Chains A and B, each alone.
Chain A
Amino acid sequence: GAGVSQSPRYKVAKRGQDVALRCDPISGHVSLFWYQQALGQGPEFLTYFQNEAQLDKSGLPSDRFFAERPEGSVSTLKIQRTQQEDSAVYLCASRFQDNSPLHFGNGTRLTVT
């Protein structure tokens, strides 16, 4: 595809369930980022990959959050035992190289009930 694709678009989970959010970056883009965004706020950094290497995971809020990019393209953000405070939009972004523009997907809106 032409842009960054995220699925599902919307996800409703009951508290305690595990969820998996998928990101398909633009083909050939080396770097991939995950952000968490609350309504009306700026995106908060979660984690960052360069190819398959996770270079920075300092923004992951707890050990319930796990991200992977095993083949250096598609990435999955997994949240275990979801809590209500996990409700947010999860944005994925990719870029070709270090100084290239960041391209965002439209996000996955997660609601934990």
Chain B
Amino acid sequence: TQLLEQSPQFLSIQEGENLTVYCNSSSVFSSLQWYRQEPGEGPVLLVTVVTGGEVKKLKRLTFQFGDARKDSSLHITAAQPGDTGLYLCAGRSSNTGKLIFGQGTTLQVKP
């Protein structure tokens, strides 16, 4: 069974601070995605990383895919209250194509 472990599960920080969320697995994924979910809504895709070692930037968010394609990180610089939400990593199984999600990281950014 392919599992994704996210850490930390909860993060409460002040506006302007930096943070990193980790997503780890013992399995190799063909690609890994990061989603953000707000209360009462479905997850919304932020980025997809495909190549081992790949780094993608989305404004203040930096995403990295591990060289072995087993882990990923999301770094947020100068967090803002609008960044508050549930952040989810999801790995695409090479065999079946289904998307497996981590447990999520709940981020609260206080003004």
Contact = CB atoms under 8 A, between A and B. Distances in A.
A40 B106 contact: yes
Contact of B42 (A42, A48, A105): A105
Interface residues of B, number: 24
Contacts, number: 55
B103 A41 contact: yes
Contacts of A40: 86, 104, 106
B96 A91 contact: no
Interface of B: 4, 6, 31, 33, 40-45, 48, 86, 88, 90, 96-104, 106
Given A43-B43, A45-B98, A55-B96, 9 more contacts: A42-B103, A43-B101, A48-B98, A56-B96, A93-B42, A98-B97, A102-B45, A104-B43, A105-B42
